[in-house]
Amino acid sequence: MTGRHTRPRARTGRRILQFVSGLSLTLAILCVFHVGWVWWGDAFDGIHTQQTLAVRHGVKDVDAGDATRIAEPRGGDPPAETEPGHGAVIGWMWIPRFGHDWKRAIQEGTGTDVLANQGIGHYGHTPMPGGKGNSAYAGHRTPGDLGAADTLRPGDPIVIQTARHWYVYKVQSSWMTTPDDVAVVADQPGQGDTRSITLTTCKWSLDEADSLSARLIIRGRLESWSDVGDGIPAELADGTSRPAVRARMAASRVIRRISVRMPVSRVLAAAAGGAWLLLAGLAWLIWHGGRPRREPTWNPLTLAWRLQTGPVPLRIILFILFWTMILFAEWAWLSPWLDATIPLFSTGPSLTGA
């Protein structure tokens, strides 16, 4: 009698262990996917918001990969830019040091409603791009935005494109200061007719209190301006002839074109899911009859593997497509919900404070 009851209990215990271990690994994978969203996915889909806003406000999305027309740099006083309303898109900010395909939409204002769009905010009380005085901007310190601000060096260009003009600033200095040092965004003593730019972002730290304890300041000066219709500034064309750079910029163009209509993560989730369903369906029709019977398992990862049909190489491809679909589906729907709902998964000020 004892032996009869021991075997079912042992089998049940083994299945529970399979389920718990498999579920733990699955949740760990999903957590890694969420970290990927924090570092890349959020900014990835933020392109959709920025593209939509730019189109709505009539700001052209210029392709920096088109180096066939280089705008002649001009000196002197540039035309005055129109003062926008709160939240309006002023233009685009390009920082080649962050990558030739790096650019972020600039909106008027620096409130959370603006910076939540993963772009750059313009301090409303400071001059417009190209104007006399200190034109100041704020941005998150997330990796996709101003996360690499500490890598900027004197002489690095910061390029601003408005609806009609290009403004090329060159970095002069950077330093850390306290959050209450509002003087950094005001006109500087002895500024005169100098046209400068200031970027502000939080200190990089995973600790929220430490992140909010300081601000990184980048200061630059206007070097030249030109008309958008004349081409692109030479600073944006430098280095774009390399094959790797051109390939990356081509991919970026595709992403931006898709992003005009919907977030890219949704497109990629649908594409991976469609490819998986098609291949998995064909594989099942061809090979399902020859599948051996296996002992039932409660391990979610094992179930995901057994869901794939066909020869091992094909099953590996299907398995990769399956998890690619899960990755982008999480980026599209689950991670934003977790970020907004559960504090533990929120990026919070420590990653996004400006």
Q: Report the catalytic residues.
A: 140, 202
Q: Rounded distance, CA 170 to CA 148, Å?
A: 16
Pair of tokens at residue 62? 């210029």
Tokens of 323: 């998890």
Give the type of residue at 49.
Answer: T
For 40, 51, 84, 222, the CA distances from 124, given in Å and listed in that order, are 29, 22, 9, 19
In three-state secondary structure terms, 104 is strand
Interatomic CA distance for residues 45 and 256, integer angstroms: 10
User: For residue 81, which phi and psi values (nearest 5 degrees)?
Assistant: -85, 145
> 222: burial class by Cβ within 10 Å (0-12, 13-18, 19+)?
buried
Angle at 148 between CA 233 and CA 205, to 5 degrees: 160
